[in-house]
Amino acid sequence: MAEGTIKRVTDKGYGFIDSGGSKDLFFHMSSLVGVNFDDLREGQRVTYEEGRGPKGPCAENVQLA
C-alpha cells in the first residue's frame, strides 16, 4: 500500500491526498476503511491503494497510517 498525507477535505464527502508525486489523488468518503470521513484532518498520514475512477486516478481503501 502507498502512503500519503491528507491535503484537503471538503464538506461534500471527498478530499485529496498528497501522494508525493506531481498530482494529488482524489478520494471519496465511500473509499474509507476503518475511519469516519468527519474524523479526517489535513496533514494526517494515510495508506491507500491507487485505483482508477471515471475521471482518472483515485485513492481506494484509504486508512489512517
Q: Which domains does the chain have, with CATH numbers?
A: 2-64 (2.40.50.140)
Contact residues for 14 (Cβ-Cβ < 8 A; gap 6+): 26, 27, 28, 29
Which H helix or E strand runs over 44?
none
For 1-51, write each residue's pLDDT tens digit.
Answer: 899 999 999 999 999 999 988 889 999 999 999 999 999 999 999 999 999
| pLDDT of the residue at 37 | 97
Is there a contact between 42 and 6 (Cβ–Cβ < 8 Å)? yes
pTM: 0.91
CA distance 28 to 14: 4
Q: Which amino acid is at 52?
A: R
| pLDDT of the residue at 22 | 85
Give the 3-state secondary structure percentages of the chain, helix then strand then coil, rounded to 5: 10, 55, 35
